[in-house]
Amino acid sequence: MKSIIRTLSASAAFFLLPGMFNAAFGQGKSIDRIVAKVDNYVVLRSDVEALYNDMQAGGVRGADRCGALQQLVIQKVLIAKAEIDSVMVEDKEIEDQLNRRMEYMIRTQFGSEQKLQEAYGKTVETLKGELRKQVREQLVAQKMQETITGSIKITPSQVKRFYNNLPKDSIPYFPTEVEVGQIVKVAKISREQKNEVRAQLNKIRDRVNAGEDFAVLAKQYSQDPGSAQFGGNLGVAKRGMMVPEFEAMAFKLKINEISQVFETEYGFHILQLLERKGEEYTARHILIRPSYSQVDLNDAERFLDSLRTRIVNDSITFAKAAKEHSDDKVTAARGGMIMDESGSSKIFTEALDPVIFFTIDTMQVGNVSKPIAYRTDDGKSAMRILYYKSKIAPHQANLQDDWQKIYDAALNERKTKALNEWFAKAQDEVFINIDEEYGHCKIMSNTPQ
Q: Which of 325, 320, 290, 279 is nearest to 304 (CA)?
A: 325
Q: Which of 222, 235, 220 is nearest to 379 (CA)?
A: 222
For helices 403-426 and 156-164, angle between their N-to-C axes, nearest 10 degrees: 90
Looking at the domain covering 4-164+399-441, what would its CATH class be?
mainly alpha
CATH code given to domain 173-189+293-396: 3.10.50.40
How confident is the model at residue 122, as a pLDDT? 82
Q: Is 366 left (phi over 0), alpha (psi -120 to 50) or beta?
A: left
The structure's pTM equals: 0.59
How confident is the model at residue 134, as a pLDDT? 87
The enclosing H or E element of 23 equals helix 18-24
> d(Cα 39, Cα 175) in Å, to the nearest integer?
44
- Domain boundaries along the sequence of the chain: 4-164+399-441, 173-189+293-396, 191-288
Other C-beta atoms closer than 10 Å to the C-beta of 49 total 19
The enclosing H or E element of 180 equals strand 177-186
Tell how strand 381-392 and strand 177-186 pair up.
Answer: antiparallel
Q: Do domains 4-164+399-441 and 191-288 have the same CATH topology?
A: no
What is the mean pLDDT, run by run of 10 residues, along the chain of 449 residues? 33 42 53 87 90 81 85 90 89 84 74 75 83 89 91 94 92 93 90 90 96 94 85 84 90 94 91 91 91 78 96 96 94 94 86 92 96 83 94 93 90 89 85 88 58
Tell how strand 280-288 and strand 34-38 pair up.
Answer: unpaired
How confident is the model at residue 121, as a pLDDT? 83
CB-CB contact of 22 with 52 (8 Å): no
How confident is the model at residue 124, as a pLDDT? 79
CB-CB contact of 371 with 300 (8 Å): yes
Output the DSSP codes for 234-282: EEEEETTSS-HHHHHHHHHSPTTPBPPPEEETTEEEEEEEEEEETTEEE
CATH code given to domain 191-288: 3.10.50.40
How confident is the model at residue 103, as a pLDDT? 75
